[in-house]
């Protein structure tokens, strides 16, 4: 690729990143004035769907000023019964995106990461919350533009993956969610905690903290979320805040999350 083409690609990527961040920030601001979104990202969770869903579809996208752009998608099937009932689950998930890292002192570049997985598990559902545990296999591919002997998480690897996903309503008008995953493929991990308070029926507003990484890379996010907003058939969530990673240090992130089912 020519130098000018690379420059155009970088410019387009930067515009996309800031566009996503600005969109998330604008939505939070608009809702605030009216009434009051690898792993790399995580979809919104609900205690139970509003109808007798057999399948739930989650999509989320995250962009940061630290040159990290990822899209995640998952489809969860109820194996017998519905998602409103406790029972067995099958989850198919995929992830893809790019991330910036320091390949040498003062030399930064962009890596690409793709992942797919199939997990089975059991979800216990109560009126005040749900707890799901999953296990399965995932395939993770991580590539960089040139050889990097210091990066121990390159290439394609198949791993065992385990997930814990909890969503609770501990008191009236409050919520709490905890998500954690670990894969033996490059020791990849992701963990996120959220708490929130209901805002006039719009959704839950509160803080969130997330950590993620693998054998080579790590990132920490601290911010706020506005989640579980129901817009027609879609459940929508946005979040944003401060991010720190190994390569670019300080920065900002924004996430948009969508959930639906049938």
pLDDT in tens, 105-136: 777 788 899 999 999 999 999 989 999 999 99
Per-residue pLDDT of 189-236, as tens digits, reads: 999 999 999 988 789 999 999 999 998 889 999 999 999 999 988 999
Domain range 3-261, its CATH number among 1.10.1740.10, 2.40.160.40, 3.30.70.360, 2.60.40.290: 2.40.160.40
Contacts of 166 (CB under 8 A, 6+ apart): 129, 130, 131, 132, 177, 178, 179
Residue found under tokens 């130098």:
3
Per-residue pLDDT of 64-112, as tens digits, reads: 998 899 999 999 999 999 999 999 999 999 999 998 877 777 777 888 9
Where are the domains positioned within the chain? 3-261
> Would you say residue 186 has pLDDT above 80?
yes
pTM: 0.79
């Amino acid at each position: 690729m020519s130098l000018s083409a690379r420059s155009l690609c970088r410019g387009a990527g930067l515009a996309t990143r800031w566009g996503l961040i600005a969109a998330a920030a604008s939505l939070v601001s608009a809702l605030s004035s009216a009434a009051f979104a690898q792993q790399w990202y995580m979809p919104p969770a609900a205690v139970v769907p509003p109808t007798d869903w057999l399948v739930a579809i989650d999509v989320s996208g995250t962009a940061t000023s630290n040159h990290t752009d990822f899209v995640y998608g998952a489809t969860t099937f109820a194996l017998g019964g519905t998602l409103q009932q406790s029972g067995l689950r099958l989850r198919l998930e995929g992830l893809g995106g790019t991330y910036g890292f320091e390949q040498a002192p003062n030399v930064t570049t962009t890596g690409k990461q793709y992942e797919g997985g199939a997990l089975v598990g059991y979800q216990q559902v109560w009126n005040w919350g749900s707890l799901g545990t999953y296990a399965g296999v995932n395939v993770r591919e991580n590539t960089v533009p040139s050889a990097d002997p210091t990066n121990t998480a390159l290439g394609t690897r198949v791993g065992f993956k385990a997930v814990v996903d909890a969503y609770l309503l501990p008191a009236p008008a409050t919520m709490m969610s905890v998500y954690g995953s670990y894969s033996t493929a490059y020791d990849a991990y992701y963990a996120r905690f959220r708490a929130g308070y209901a805002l006039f029926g719009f959704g839950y507003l509160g803080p969130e903290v997330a950590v993620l990484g693998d054998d080579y890379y790590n990132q920490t996010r601290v911010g706020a979320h506005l989640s579980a907003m129901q817009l027609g058939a879609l459940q929508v969530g946005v979040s944003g805040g401060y991010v720190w990673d190994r390569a670019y240090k300080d920065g900002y992130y924004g996430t948009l999350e969508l959930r639906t089912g049938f």
